[in-house]
Structures are given as C-alpha cells and as structure tokens.
Structure 1
Amino acid sequence: MLKTYHRLKEAAIKLVKQEDENLVTYPLIWLDSLVNISQENIDGQQLIRSSIDHLITFDNVDKCEEHIRSISSDERILLITSGRLGRELIPRIHQLRQVSSIYIYCLDKLANEQWAKQYTKIKHIVTKFTELITNIRTQRSQRSHNEVNELLLIDIFQSTTSHQQTDNISNAHFIYSQLLINVLLQMIPINTDKNKLIVLCKEKYHDIDNEMKLIQEFENNYSSNDAIYWYMRDSFIYRVLNKALQIQNIDLLFLFRFFIHDIRQALKQNKCTSSIQVYRSQLMTKEQIDLLKNCIGGLISINSFFSTSIHRDLALLFLNELPLSDDTERVLFEITADPECALLKPFGFIKSNNSFRQTEEVIFTLGSIFRLINIQQQSDGMWTVQLTLCADNDDQLKPFKTNDKHNHSNILSFGNCLKKIGKLNDAEKFYLRLLNELPNNSQTIADCYYALGCIAMEKNMYDLSLKWHLRSLDIKLKILKEDDLTIADSHSAIGQIYLKKHDYKQALSSYLRALNITMQVKGEKHPSLAICYTNLGGVYQKQENYTHALECYRTALAIRQKTSSVDHPDLGISYNNIAIVYSCCAQYDLALENYNMALKILQNTLPPLHPEIAVSYCGLGLIFEQKGEFDKAYSYYEKTAVIYRQTLPNTHPDIIRIEQHIQRISSKL
C-alpha cells in the first residue's frame, strides 16, 4: 500500500508541476505598501492562504496593474487593496473583465466610501481583517451568483458561410470537444482514478487548511450517490473540474471520469419527466454575442455541467446585480428542453434541499448540445438567446453519436482526432492509457498499437513504429481471419517502415502480403489495389528495377482510370510516378509526356501550392536541363521553389535540393 501511495504521489507531483499555473482557480491579489512588512498583514496572508488556493501580493501599483492585465480575460480575480493605493489603481483596471470583485481594506472607512461609490465592482470597504475574510468566503460560496460572470464553455458548429475559414476552425474545435466529452462519458472508470485525483489535490492544496479538510472528507465519505452534493459545494472538486474542462487538460479529466459518470447517473435518476423551460443568466463579451448572432440555426455545445434556473425572475436578479465591464453585455438564455431528446446526455431537476444552493435548478449533462433558435436585444440593452435541446437522433449530430459505451471505435476516434490536428504527444498518451484499461488481445488493443505505430512513424522513430505495428499485427493474426483487411493495413504500414529503413527486401515482402489479402477480399479491380501497386512500384524504383516499377505504376494507373473520374488527383499522381521512372531510364520524351499529363490534372484538382504539383514542376525542370534547354529548366525550378518556400521549413531537404538545382542551372545560363 505504501509503495502504491508513493507512486501515486510522485505522479501527482509531476502533473501538478506541469499544470499548476493553468489550474489556478479564482486567484486573489492583495495590493498594499505594507503587505510584506506589517506583521498584521503577514499574519493575514497566512490566514488567507489557509483558506484560499491562490494569493499574490504587491506593494507597487504599476507592477500590480501589469500583472492584472497579463491575466486572461477568461479568468476571474478578487482584488484587495488599501484605500490609498486603491484610489490610484482602481480607475485603471476597473473596466477589465478579469477583475471580478474589489475589497478595500483600510483604516478610514468613511473617507474611502466617498470616492468608491462610482466603482460598482467594489463589494465591501472593511477595517477588520476577520470581516474581510468572511466577505471573501461568502462571495466564493455564492455559486449561483458567481456563475453569471464565469466563462461559459461553449463551442459552435454551423454550416459554412461567408466566414468559411472561421467556421471551419470553430467546427473543428466543436468536433474535438465532443469527441473528448463522449470519451469521458463512455469509458468505464477504473478504481484508481479517485485515489489518483485525491493524491493530486492533496499535493496542490497541501497548505490550504479548508481545502485539505474537504479533501479528507471526500476521501473518507464520497460515494456515487453524493456526486451532485459534491458538485454543488464550493470546493476543490467543482473548481478543479471546471478549470480542467476550460483548458481541456486530458490527463486530469481522465481522473475525473468516475465523478463525471456519477453525476450523469444522478441526473438520469432525477431526470425531468416532461418538457421544461429554464433560464441561465450570463455576462458575455460583444465578440461572443457576435458569434451567436452569426450562428442562428447552428449548434451550441456546452462543455461543462450546465446549471439553469426554473425561475426567470431569479435569473434576471443575478444578472442585474453584477456590474458590466467595458466589453461585456447581459445575456439571458431561455432554454426549452424535452427529456425524450436527452437519453444519452440527460438533464435533471435538483431540489433545494441542501445548504449550498438556495434555489431550484435543472442541470444538463456535460457536452449537451442545443440549437440556437434566435438572439435579440431588448430595449434595456439585455440580450435574450433562445435555445432548444437537440434530440439524440438529430441529423446534424450523427458524426458525434456514440450511444454504446462499449463502442471502442468511437473512443479511438478521439485519439485519431488528436493525431489529425497535430497533437501527437497527447494522442500517444491517450492510446497508451487505453492499453492499460482495455481487455488484452482485443481488436481495440490491436488498433491502439497500430495508431501508436503511425504516430511513431510521423515522428520518424522507425524502430519504435515497427515495434508497435508488429504487436498490432500479432494480435490481429490471433483474433481475426487471415484475409481481414486490417491485417493488410498492418502489412502496408510495416512495408512503409522497411522502405524508410532502406530494407527493400522486407518492404517488398510486406507490400506483397498486403496486395494478396486486398486482392482476395476486393477483387482485381478495386481502387485500393492501386495503392498496393503504387507501394510496390516505389520499392522496385528504389531497387532501380525500373521494369517492374513501371509495370506496377501502369497497373495502378489502369485501375484508377477505370474507377476514378478523369480529373481525379490520384490519376495525376500515377502519371508523375510513371514520368519519374521514364526519366530515370533517360526516356525523356515519354517522361515529358507523362509529366505534362500529370500537371494538367493536378492543376485542375489541387491547390496551387500542393507538393504534388511541385513534383511535376521539378521533374520537368530536370528533363529540360538534360535536353540543354536551360531557360525552361530554370523556369520550372523557380516554380518548384515558390511552392516549397511557402510550404516547407528552410531546412527541409526538398528546399535545399531545389536551391541547389537553381544555383547549378543559373551558372549555365
């Protein structure tokens, strides 16, 4: 047991050190010229740190302002300041959204009340430190009120419009977030998750007495039936979970799986039985409102557990009590929800039977998706946003539908998404985690090893890639039929590795196995066979066996001519491959003919800076150089360089090679 504890602690310390600054929740800033000199203030710091998770002190106005402005507007800070320094600082930072509340701690309350009246974010002016602490604790515990000004974690999915590039980025992030959330909801929690989370939180809050008491209580008494109770408390659980969701800390979110699972089950047990109208008050930036205005009819994902009120007047009360910053507006969400639409992500009615939230609420499951019906501004300046909960079978939700918790292909899709957006290290950690949590010798385990092999390949770690792919193939051969196409995929991947390692004999063997399986399953004219023949042609070309290389490339072209449209880029790639072989054989006229055919197709089907077009340009340059037509050669080399200079780093081998070609041909002009 002791060894296990120390192992968990070591892992927790590592994670805390990596993410500590990102996980700061509700930071407190104290400005006073004597903050680090007066014994009373030093004692006060210790008292604050015993109950609040993050305190920074300043004795200089300019440095304090600089730090406040460096904090993201998505964060919310509390500011304590002396009366004298507050008069100087507050006019300069009051309009910043990250400044949530201000407390004046001073000797002369009456004198400071006069100038403070014009600043709505000043909550209290106090002369006693105990009163200051009490007020801060009270504000932190008023979750229903505070949530109005917290960052609302949303993603938007919409059909492409005139803002196509922005829409594509937004849609990609929507898909990524949904995949992550669906993984968290689907994967069965493991027993060690809770213990790891507790050890991590103990390390993070080790010097905060109040939090340590709550962590100990959580460790001793938590059960799955208490999930809602703990979520609604002002504690480390709520703050760290929502911060992890905000920054999408995958490691930490996986430790919260048991808690997310328990909340979802509680919402199922307490689900609403009929359609309901609920409300959510929120401060939002003008930029966020503009995004919503452009998303009428689109989808909105709420990437946290979403608390709403059944009382419109109460939501408005919370909204109107908070002061606005320069860039914020008051927004009231009016939400219609039918429980029959939410079988996968339920919403539940939470009664006011506890001391933590004095209102009746409806909470929606993490990742609930709504359709934006309308948004309009009222005469008093407040915006109303009308949402309706999307049904699980909504046509637009089919790409994200994952209603089987054992559907591991959907779980793997999250890792594939990480890989596609270039987060190779995160994807690698994700697949390694799955290997420890899924049954041995399963198709999913084989797929994990395959994915790890592909990631290692992208990192140019060929030996590691080969190791993972061989493990994947070994499992597949044990559990699948010998003609399964995923076995062919493994052979192809292994062949690619051997090709990179210049082991052409092994590469040829693997590619031939892939070809034989694909031919057995798909027949002799299926488009996937063209890839197999192209791979084989590449190996023969490296071996300088140009006769066999040309035969394979021609076979691939013939298949593509029968199965693809006349202007498909794959046809252009085949012509490029054939042209390269002819060029190697010094048959320049035939090479020229095929390069021109390739270029015609590729220019019509690919973006102008696509690397495959550069292959045609460079090949044409080499041919004209061989023919002694140096002007034409120089022209094609320059066209090649234009593409490479805009798409590749300066140190890339293709950049170096084309610059050498240009330098060489320039000396001949």
Structure 2
Amino acid sequence: MGHTLTKQDVVVNTDIEAFPIVWLDSQVNKNHNNLAAQKQLRKLDKNLKTFDDEEECHKYIVSTLADDRIVFIVSGQLGQTIVPKIHQLPQIILICVYCMNAALNEVWARPFDKVKTVAEKFADIITCIESVQQNITLGAATSTNSNINVYTHYCTAIDDPFDNPLSFLECFLRIESNQSDITECIAYCRNKYNQNQHELDLIQEFQQSYTSERAIWWYTRQSFVFRILSDILRKEKTYLIYKFRFLLHDIYQQLKQCQCQSRIQVYRGQLLPDQDITYFKTLIGKIITVKSFFTTWSNRKHARSGLKPSTSNSKQVLFEIDAIPGAANCKPYGDISLHNSFPKPGEVLFMAASNFRIDTVHYGEDHMWIVRMTLVDNDSPNWKDFSQRIDIMEKNVGGLNLASFGTIMRCMGHVSRAKSYCSCLFDQLSLSNPLTAVVCFELAEIALSEGDSDANKSWYRKGTHIKRKYSVHGDLNYESKSKGSTLSRSVDSSFIATLQNSSEDLDSTINEAMASQRFTSVQLDKHQVRFSIEGYEKVPLVSLEEAMVPLLGVLPDIQQMVCIAKMKCELPTDGLTSDQSAAIMLYTMEWEPSETCLYFVLNSALRTADREVVKPWFLYLKLIFTALSRLPSKSGTFFRGVKLNLSSQHPQGETFYWWSFSSCTTTINVLTSDQFLGSSDIRTLFAIESTSGRDISRHSYYQNEKEILLLPATRFQVVGHLPFTSNVHIIQLKEIESEFPLLNPIL
C-alpha cells in the first residue's frame, strides 16, 4: 500500500494490449486509496483479480496456465514471502511492489529480475505496466491481422473445453436480440469512428441494408465490422459481445449452413515472434481457444503467399489444421467463398471461440515452422453439465439473460469465475440498465457462497436501491391486492433489518401482519383429474438459487427471500443440505400480498393441471421433494381448515386427491387462533389420519406452528362427519394409497 492516490496521479492509456492483473495486499479491498487504484487498473484489465490472503492468491496463480502472462502487484510485506514462490513461473511476466517504503523493499526485491518497480506512488505502477505492455504490443505488430498471437491474447491455453474464456457465448447466441440492442451497437460504432467519414458512410449503409443473410459478407469486407468484432472478442469485452450478439448469431448460423461435410485440412500462414514459437512448443498436446474468428485456406500455397520474410526476431509459421465435421459440440466452420465480399476460392472460416489441440511443432524442410492443430469438440463432463444447465434456463420461464452465465458458473461451483464475470458486467452496465439490479443480486449470491456476509448485504442493498429507483420489473413497494384480507405474521423483522440494514426496506417488502393461508386454503381441488408433475425427477438436482431462475417471471422478487432462507439454514438439521432445508423454509415464508408468496403461486400452478405452467417449477420440486424424502414419515391425526361449511361437498365414503401441497398442524389450537380460523364464524376442520406427512417444523420459518406437510397427489377417503357446533363442522379423512407416489423416483 502506497501514498494517497488522486485523479491527477494516473492517466491510463487504454489503446495498448491488456494483460491479466493480479493484486495481493491485505488492505486491497478496504483502503480508500486502493479501491480508487482498482478503478484505474480495471481500465487496463477489466477482469482485475484482487486478493487479501497470500495462500489464496498463490493457489490461484499456480492454477493458471503458462500463457496467461500475469502482471502481479504486491505489497512490500506480502511480497517478501510470495515473490520467491512465484518468480520462476512462466506466466508471471512482471512484478510491481506497491509499498510505503521503497528503499526498504528494494533490498529484498533486488535479486528478482521480474520485479521491475518498487514504488510508493501508484502512478509509477501504472507507468511500469503500460511500458511493458507497449513493448510487447510493438513486437506483435510484425504479425499483422494475427488471430493467434499468444502475447496479444488472441488465444488462450486451456485444460478443458469448459475453460474456454468465451464460454458465455453459448448463452449469448441463444438470446434473441431486440431493436434496442442493434440501435445501441450502431451508436457505439458511430461514436468510435466519429472522425472517420468513410467508416461513418459504411455504418450508415450497414444500418440501412444489413440482413442476416449478409453477415459473413459484412465481416469479410474491409470495414468497421471486422475490426470491432475482432477487438471485442479478443479483449473479451463482455457487454459489447452481448450487444453485438445479433451479428455473431447470424455469422454462426451462416457457418452452420455452409458447414464442410467431409474431413478437411486447411492452412494459415503468418509471421510470429520467436518467443511465440517457443511458447507453442510448450503447448504440444494441449488445447487452445482462438478467441476471434479464424480464417484459413484449403490451398497450402495460397496460405503461404504474401508472407513477409523471416527476420532475426520473427519467423514464418504455417498452421496446418485438421477438422472433422460432426464432432460433438464443435463450433461450426465452413467454406465461405460464396458469402465473401471479395470471392476467394477455398477460404474456410472457423467460428469465434473454437478450440484446437496443438499436435506438433517442428521446423519444416521449406524453412518455415509448422504448427499442426486439430479442431476438438466440447465432449467433456464439465461442458455437458454446462450445456444442460443452459438448456434448463433457456426452456423454462425466465429464460436466459446477460447475467445467466454468472448464475450457472456459481451453481456449478466456479465461484471465482462467476464473480469475475459479474463484476465485469457491473462495471460495464449503466445504473439505469434493467439488468444491473439482476447482476447486483447475483453478486450478492456469490458473496454468500464465499461466506462474505458484508458484501452480500452491500450488493443486496445496492440491487434493491437500483431496482426501486429505476422501476426494474415493477415497484418493490407492494400493496395488498385484497384490502379486506385478514392479516397475520411475516418474516422476522429484526432479521430482515439486519440483512438489509434498512428498516425502510423492510416495510416495502414484507408486512408484519398477514394471515397464513397455507393451513386455510379453500382451493382443495379435489375434482382435478390430470396430474402434471410427472418427469420432475429427470431434471438435475441444483441449488435453490438456480432452481428459482425459471421462476423469476412469476416470482420477480424471490431472490430476496432465497437470500434470507439460505442465511437461516446455514446449519440445517435432519441431515439436510443448506439448499434442501432452505427450499422447505422458502415454502413456509409469507409476505404481502399473499398472492406473491411462493407457496401460493406454486399451489395455484399445481391446481391448474396445466403441465406447461408447472414445468418451470420442476427444478424446485426436485429440490423440495429430495429434502422431504430425507425426513421420516410421520403418522397421526393432523388438522387443516377453511372458513366455509364444506360438509356437503364431502359425503362419507368418498375418495379424492388433493393435488397441491397441504399444510397441516398437529394441534387444533393453532387453527382456532385469530391468526388462522379464529373462534367464530362458520368453519370446517379436516381431521386427517395420515401415514405420509412430513414434519417440517425444524425447517419452517415459523417453528411454533408444528407444521406437517402433505405432498401433492395425496389421496383420502371420507370416514365421517361431526357437526361439532352450529358453526364448526369436522370432516374426518383417512389417507389411502395414492396412484402417484411422488417420492419413489428419488428414494
């Protein structure tokens, strides 16, 4: 940590090539000066990674690959212990020590030649980083239009196809673009080329005449399209890639249409620096991702033509690529000769973010280096899991959006990757963008996964504030839709206040006096004849947060309640996981208006018998059914009631089903309290002899209710009636065998 940082101290050059930056300092995320410095560093590397723990930082660095070319900033104190451990790693290209006493720290740093500066002013750190980046950028200039120069991050070495740095493209390509996205892209292009009349004319032409059938034509034309797509893909400018997805999608579809139908060998010639060639030798047998589109030729001689002669620092390189069509999950590639703006026979284009295996690197008889590569598929367990989760999110209510990739990464356990992705998005999005609040809530979930309760609360408050201010998905200040409804309890206000650190937030989301309808619903749906839950057991078992994603369209504010439930279920009983216990608790939680509570919306869906309405609930049903299957069955007489006389609707001997979840209590006293049925007016109490009820009281938000939960499709027979008083009617039910044993598939 160095001296005070002012805006005048640092001027960042954003036109140079970017490298990943890692910063280790015990105060990196606490000190005001360090937080200000982070903003400057993110102009050099939008994915800046910060650590305040040496062990975690070391673990991360050694997990990276040699081509990551990391710039490492470290405090003087921590630098003394970590620099000797990482100095020899090839991915470390520069070390900067940012400290309070440069003279003292220069002593221990002197033996390490990768330590290029020991500085007390952060401006000196920026200058040093830019100097190194500029030198490498100049060296890369000998490889004009190179899409695969290691030092400029045109490609990245990976261990698994899932590690593809542009994996989020799989989500983006499935999200339909709208006119506002295209308009924003045009505006971006005009702003970028506002001093270039030729490009402005082309932009105008593009706006007026572009069609999806001419996507490749525009890409191959010497224009802003090629330059912008290459730049945003190579530099992983996530939000711009998202906005330009209409163009990427159209190119993707055209490549699928002209996909090569037989095995091909294609070539690409270029001039590469000696250090790149040396580095490629270390990648033999490994996989690389070429970030941008990759142009090749079916004619070897054509690929070599036009290559500049080798120099003392750079050599001619010929890439020989084998590709077999039909491989699982391969990015498309095809002969684009008929779609090119300047027809060139035998030109084969590979989709952006294609993966290749480096097979051999050798010096050929024709005095040029030969790098043999093979296009590889994405047939790995991680990728299959990733693809399956995308399918689930896409096909259910809510669908995919800009933040979906972060949610998937977190739910797959790749929390650091999710955090990096969402942090980048937050930096790029404006506060008025509807997705900014979604990203904030996702960052809150990430913080919760990391055990950082302070960050969790901070991101949650920030998302709530943005959501209210910009009216994202409606106002959070709910008013009851039923002014005459009886009121009862709600989520513990002190807990909410602690979570949100704002009593005002509490009043807008949860009312302290509302009536539970879980025990007193009149919607007993005994006449339904269709069953719409079959197949839930086939979906994967996911986290509670992920199970809620398809439901955001019908439960727009459920993420707040999920956060509360997860916090209260950190140490669950009965051998349940935190997600399983929280799934039960979320079912029991109530807020106003009651029509927006999860249990209300879920049971309404189950009663519709409409499979399309129920399908978005499958992930949640799988989770809560799994949780309930872990709890022992409880036999006994349980109670449920309504403020109506239903005795005439249930003749003795009748058998019927309740198709939704049914909340019961073990004591009739609960139902006679004023919070439920009260002790006056007409009431019907069901006395239910059950053998399959689950005691969820230890996982309920309201543990004093002694809640027993009966599953959907529980079958009953009417045993008898008891007119207890003139206003109270008791119907005795006995549970009998159901044709739909819901828990059997997961037991």
Q: Under a length normalisation based on structure 2, what TM-score does the superposition of the two structures give?
A: 0.42
Higher helix share: 1
Task: Normalising by structure 1, report the TM-score.
Answer: 0.46
